[in-house]
Structure formats: C-alpha cells, structure tokens
Structure 1
C-alpha cells in the first residue's frame, strides 16, 4: 500500500476525542483509478483550510484498483460539512457507479500512530 505524507488541517492541535474516517474505493475499471486518486489530491490541497480537519493521509493500491483516505476530524459535524462540501460532492457524482465504496468511522481520544494501524486492519478486511 502506498501512502501520502500526513497533511495537517487547521485543527491539527486538537486534544480530546476526535473522529477517524476511513474510505476504500474499489474501481470497477483500472483506468478510472488515476482520476479518482488525482481528485483526492485536489481535495488534499484544500485541507489546511477545512474547518474541523485534524489531518489526513491518502492511500492507494494501484494494482488492486483501490484508493481512499484516512482522515481525522474534530467531530462528526466537521466530517458532515466536508461530505457536503460542493467540491467533494462534485467528485462523488463524477465517479458514482464506477466502483464500490466502503467506509467506517470511529472515535479515539488522541490522533496517534495507532490510527493508521487500525485503518490498515479495516482496509485488509480484518475488521
């Protein structure tokens, strides 16, 4: 699995309970994967200004036709605002029907390295 560098958000110093979101997009056709991943990179550029964003990684398994994100948010409201953000909505609409998406969320008391390990467990199908 290839992983981007950590991209901090404006809430990077958050303490207390945070919300972790993991997404896993499996492209129906391999030629759709680069576009999906590039769209993720575009959204990542805006990360430092997204209210409530603690930080995120993008990941991909190009030979498996998979990509997604592991993002950390101050709370569920911040994640919901991101999901409804017009730039995100446009990407979701563009790629709807071109693969399968699964996701999960959980809360943790600190955004630590254990977040990535738990996300990998979910992505491997172990959870």
Structure 2
C-alpha cells in the first residue's frame, strides 16, 4: 500500500524591509509544525497569518512564505533574514512568544536553518521543500 504524498500549499512571497544585495549571504529558517488534530492545525496556521501581517515592519526580514499541508495537519514558514540577530530578535518578540506558548503541547515542531551564499527564491524554496517533504518518522 502506498502512502499519499504530502501536498504543500505555499503563500505568495511576502517581502520584508531588508533587501538581499546581490551576492550577499542570507539566513534561511524553515519551521514545520505538525498538529495533533485538525482544529489545532487551523489555529496555528491562522496564528502564522497574523504574524505575516507584521512582516513589512520586521527589521532584518528579507521575506517569507507560509506553507501548509492540510491533510498532514502541518504548517509553517520559510523565512529569509539579513542576519542571525534579526531572526533572534523576531523569535523573542512578544507576539511570536505568545503564539509559541499558545500552541505548546498541541503538536510537534521541527526546524532548520542555513546560510545561503545569495538569495535565489527558487533555490531557497527547493531546499526548504526537500526538508519539508522528507520523512518525519523519528524526528520530534
């Protein structure tokens, strides 16, 4: 019996206030939240949309995509940053901390980040998609 492939749906690119100069390295961060149930999946996806509304005013943010796999009760983000400090500042923001605390214990989270030598949207999305579509068995 074959397992149905996950289907990732992606939002349009949302630019931030930082610009990735040609040839300048960027930090890429990918999050993957798997909810315990469909109700939690919808709630966390909605919380992500709320955070996305602030993106144009988020210091150091080059831009981001939100993504979801509704059948898999999964959602998350692929965000691109000017530097590690900007990502750290965002993670420590009160609205982000409220979101994390509100959904703690309602699913599992995995994440990764890497430095890309330059920002190429197709390359960044392809690398993120590879992380998001590989097996999650044994990962918490």
Q: TM-score, normalised by structure 1?
A: 0.96
- Whole-angstrom distance in 1 between the partners of 2:21 and 2:43: 32
Q: CA deviation at 1:50?
A: 0.4
The higher radius of gyration belongs to 2
Unaligned runs of 5+ in 1: none
CA-to-aligned-CA distance 1:53-95 (integer Å, 9 cap, x gap): 0000000001110000000001110000000000000000000
Alignment check: 8 A CA contact 1:19 1:74 kept: yes
CA-to-aligned-CA distance 1:19-53 (integer Å, 9 cap, x gap): 00000000011111111001100000000000000
Aligned residue in 2 for 1:2: 9
Match of 2:48 among 40, 52, 64: 40
> Root-mean-square deviation (CA), in Å?
1.0
Alignment check: 8 A CA contact 1:24 1:123 kept: yes
Q: TM-score, normalised by structure 2?
A: 0.87
Aligned residue in 2 for 1:27: 35
- Count of residue correspondences: 126
Unaligned runs of 5+ in 2: 1-7, 136-140
